[in-house]
């Protein structure tokens, strides 16, 4: 018998509801359902004309983001990169990051190593620079 697990990402629990940021996005993590040992996978939707509820960065973990549909901007520290369907972006650990969706929203898959305690939330990342 082959060693594999199978799940539908859209059917996973939306932790954005529990976290109180469902106004901005959906966030579904597949690590447990896929029985992943070291890789992490999440399915995220940023709602039209919204941005992630917060930015974040890591101490050691790099991540790869793949845009499945929609368009918008990826904020990387003080830079913005326009993104569209099937763009893939690798981000080094210490870069603060977050997506902003255009009028068509953004649908993403994120790949990263599982690294509990490695992430740092940056709550004011999407505020104007003078306000930080």
* Closest by CA position to 115, among listed 49, 56, 44, 43: 56
Residue 76 resides in a domain: yes
Residue 132 resides in a domain: no
pLDDT band at 130 (very low <50, low <70, confident <90, very high): very low
Residue 27 resides in a domain: yes
Q: In angstroms, how far is CA 35 from the centroid of its own chain? A: 20
Predicted confidence (pLDDT) per residue in 72-123, tens digit:
999 999 999 999 999 999 999 999 999 999 999 999 999 999 988 899 999 9
Residue 129 resides in a domain: no
- The domain total for the chain is 1
Residue with token string 């959906």: 26
Q: In angstroms, how far is CA 82 from the centroid of its own chain? A: 16
Residue 9 resides in a domain: no
CB atoms within 10 A of CB 132: 8
Residue 61 resides in a domain: yes
Q: Which residues of 47-82 are buried (b: 16+ CB within 10 A; e: fewer)?
A: beebbbbbbbbbeebebebebeebbbbbbbeeeeee
Domain membership of residue 62 as a residue range: 14-124
Residue 119 resides in a domain: yes
Q: In angstroms, how far is CA 92 from the centroid of its own chain? A: 14
Residue 8 resides in a domain: no
Provide the sign of the torsion angle of the four alpha carbons 68, 96, 122, 37, taken in this order. positive
> What is the value of pTM for the model shown?
0.90
- Assign residue 81 the CATH number of its domain: 2.60.120.10
Look at residue 87 in the predicted model and tell me its pLDDT: 98
């Amino acid at each position: 018998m082959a060693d594999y697990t199978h799940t539908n990402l859209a059917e996973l629990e939306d932790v954005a509801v529990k976290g109180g940021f469902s106004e901005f996005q959906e966030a579904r993590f597949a690590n447990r359902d896929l029985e992943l040992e070291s890789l992490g996978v999440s399915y995220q939707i940023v709602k039209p004309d919204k941005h992630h509820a917060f930015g974040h960065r890591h101490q050691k973990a790099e991540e790869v983001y793949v845009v499945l549909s929609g368009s918008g901007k990826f904020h990387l520290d003080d830079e913005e990169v326009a993104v569209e369907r099937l763009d893939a972006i690798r981000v080094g650990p210490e870069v603060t990051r977050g997506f902003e969706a255009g009028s068509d929203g953004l649908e993403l898959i994120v790949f990263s190593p599982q690294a509990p305690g490695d992430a740092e939330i940056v709550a004011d990342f999407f505020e104007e620079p003078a306000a930080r």
